[in-house]
Amino acid sequence: MATAKKKENTEIKKDGKNEAIDAITDQINKKYGPGSFMRLGSNKTVNVDVISTGALTLDHALGVGGIPRGRITEIYGHEASGKTTLTLHVIAEAQKAGGYAAFIDAEHALDPTYASALGVDIDNLYISQPNSGEEALEILEKVVSSTAFDIVVVDSVAALVSRAELAGDIGDAHIALQARLMSHALRKLTAIISNTNTAVIFINQLRQNIATTGYGAGPTETTTGGKALKFYSSVRLDIRRTEWIKKGDETIGHKVKIKVVKNKLSAPFKVVNLEIIFGHGISTEGLLIDLAMEAKIITRSGAWFYYNGEQIAQGKEKVREILASDTKMRLELEIQIRENLNMGGIDKVKEELNEYLESQKNKDDKTVKSDKKEDSDLNKNSISNKDDTSDLLIKTVE
């Protein structure tokens, strides 16, 4: 009897706590914005417009289906880890959807040929190569304020050198100056970015944290530009190169691990692995294979891979090549994977598949018509040749 009463009291207390938690959660999210306070294991996401990253697994890990619009995203990592590659894929996806993109190239290092290879329409990519950090951030503000652009990328924070530093002043003072520069700019930009619904991506570098080096307390690495960007970013992605991808003795790319370090729109700390192929960017085919195998849509027995019970190829590289050349198979596979992961964008992929099938049908119809015309021309030539032969025989007889 006493046990039952104790259990009843516990349940009442628990219900009371749940009500209090729900109330404070609503209060915090109303005051500081959706996603400011939530359960870590919650699958709840904030409903926002997004731009796909071009990588299904990363879109899924972000919880909202891609890079959020009207927000700031920071992508950081070591040199040559794939930061710019990832942002170029996002730009390509924005352009595919009919959007406009701008690239503020503070590093003066953007390769148009590589960007084009990744699917970026360079004829419709707007670029600026500013001479100082102040100039870069002023241009960023004007571009975002125009309301004309869907995505703007700044590459990189480390290259936003202040006019004072360029003038020759050196020392620790310039580090604080860059931090103040970023803090001042972001205070103004955040509201403008939100009001114009522009996706803004800052690419950043990792540096050795001098304050903790050798002492073992705190992180040994930190990003440049002070703490303001960490604070104002809704999403922060940490990208690291893990291993090389080889084809025989030839190195054809590298694998990267991306961790969602901060996410104000969904649960953070999710990790994804991507393959970046030199000259081609993120291997979407490699991603599809991995996801399809997880969902048992594609199976493997020894070195052989099977799809819908049929043997398709020996070795992952061969399967990748098949998917790269077989658009119908690739799109059908993507639809199945999106359905398996309960992801959005299924209707868009189905539409793309239908458009492709329609274009192939039109090509086939044209080919059939062309073949018929060739056959008709051959028949005409044959009849003409017969007539010529008959005329020749008549003349010979005469």
Mean pLDDT on 187-213? 89
Per-residue pLDDT tens over the stretch 13-72 = 556 788 899 999 999 988 887 777 888 776 666 778 999 999 999 999 999 999 999 999
Packed helices 327-340 and 316-325: angle between N→C axes, nearest 10 degrees: 110
Tell whether the model's pLDDT for residue 211 goes beyond 80: no
Q: Provide the b/e sequence for 66-105 (b: ≥16 CB within 10 Å).
A: bbbbbbbbbbbbeeebbbbbbbbbbbbbbbeeebbbbbbb
Top-confidence residue, 101 or 161 = 101
Between strands 151-155 and 271-277, the pairing is unpaired
Q: What are the tens digits of pLDDT across the range 99-134?
A: 999 999 999 999 999 999 999 999 999 999 999 999
What per-residue confidence (pLDDT) applies to 380? 63
Give which of 74, 274, 251 is closest to 156, Cα–Cα. 74
By percentage, how much of the chain surpasses pLDDT 90? 68
Q: How far is CA 284 from the centre of its chain?
A: 10
Give rounded-to-5 percent helix, strand, coil for the chain.
50, 20, 30
Q: Using a cut of 0.85, tell me whether the model's pTM lies above it.
A: no
pLDDT in tens, 321-332: 999 999 999 999
Look at residues 231, 324, 257 and name the one whose alpha carbon lies nearest to residue 61: 257
Encoding tokens for residue 105?
A: 């190239």
